[in-house]
Chain A
């Protein structure tokens, strides 16, 4: 049995029943990393010694009957998450030698839950990107086909999971940086409600949009992991908790915006989505499927985002002056420089009203679209990417074309709502495609319920047995 191909749930059962140890499970992941990391460029840093030490400690705790949510489970962290004593680079030359003096709150929570940390994964530098190609340390390749992108910015974390290098991994989602790579790798990706998971100790991209989430092999695993990371944190003043109970499935109404299925979708993506929509409509025994929920300002999402986000980026990256940490600003890559300049320009004297203020108003309208929609339905299903994964190098010379890859994912970040990306099949070229389930603030429980139901209804489909040929 390949221990590294287990889910969190399966691994926990195996560890509890002494079928194998955490050290064996961790070694299986480390072996996989040793075999394929050079080729796929997934990990920036592998913490082999620390991982085996943690695994050994976990085995002692398991033996003594202790039970923690992720005890002995090997995971990978996107290299934006500060790890005390372990190099954290944001995949940028500016921070290539930076060793954090503290752990991010989420890292602390994962460690307290018993998780074993395998290392730090590659990403678009500073989370600026949708393909993984903006890393200063080379792009990560899609394990399903190495000529193609794994999606970004959480490229390494997604590839690590689908290549069975870890049992779960963390990511961040500011315009789709978890949902898009999840959909490109046949895995589950959660973007939580803004404010549900602490951003403390995670390199900030756009502080009003960043959402801290994760990748897992199943929806059930995603819920388990979320229970560990979610929660109010005194170190992050934007975190909050709210009571929410999900309705039973037979009382749920699911909606769709018909404009999303227009000609703007690539044909195989369109067909896979239509097929998935039929499963939701006919096989899940929900109360109703509403095919005409209109999100009228959807088309302005990217324009709105590419004013607000660079403005916040230009502010967040101002701290990198090479004095207290890191190297000088000349070491920023092209994409970082572009975004810093765009933000500086739109915030500068004379341009604020034209750009930034207007974008903040459109943001209100985008949020209101969702508020209105969620009075009519409980959840919305939508495409994640307009196309399947594209070839490495295909969009890299056209920044705007790259930006438009996020057109279906960005509005959830502007409104702060949660989104769950789930796999729905493969194209004729063998490339993964996903779909996202969106709900109101704090409705993660509902998204998990719907996602699980879809998984159940499609569990015998042939594509579910596919594994990447590494």
Chain B
């Protein structure tokens, strides 16, 4: 199973150079070939399991409580302005 590393990297927002693309393409294709093994299993009428606790709809009261302060929240941001996270422009004139 061949994987288009350049396309997947774009979807995953991972900048890769050409050398990395080639290396990962081979390694990931090997792994995908291995997981094809699951085709051997008869999964007809088998339910899917996404979590094993059996819990459903765990909720809490819709009440506000103390959270991080603005200062704490910004404490690890490399780029900030006026108490806000600063990001690159998405829309340009």
Contacts and interface: CB of A to CB of B under 8 A. Distances in A.
B43 to A, nearest CB: 4
Number of chain B interface residues as a range: 35 or more
Contacts of A340: 12, 14
A462 interface: no
A364 B46 contact: yes
B8 interface: yes
B52 A367 contact: yes
Interface string B41-83: 1010011111111010010100000001000110111110000
A441 B55 CA distance: 14
Given A303-B35, A329-B14, A330-B15, A338 B52 contact: no
A195 B38 contact: no
A361 B15 CA distance: 33
**Which residue of A318, A330, A344 has the most chain B CB atoms within 10 A of its CB atom?**
A344
B90 interface: no
A213 to B, nearest CB: 16
A341 B12 contact: yes
A253 to B, nearest CB: 23
Contacts of A306: 31, 34-35
A326 B37 CA distance: 37
Contacts of B60: 234
A307 B77 CA distance: 33
Interface in A315-364: 318, 321-327, 329-330, 332, 337-338, 340-342, 344-345, 348, 355, 357-364
Given A300-B37, A399-B30, 7 more contacts: A101-B68, A303-B36, A322-B78, A324-B76, A330-B15, A359-B35, A361-B43
Interface of B: 3, 5, 8-9, 11-16, 20, 24, 27-28, 30-32, 34-41, 43, 46-53, 55, 58, 60, 68, 72-73, 75-79, 85, 87
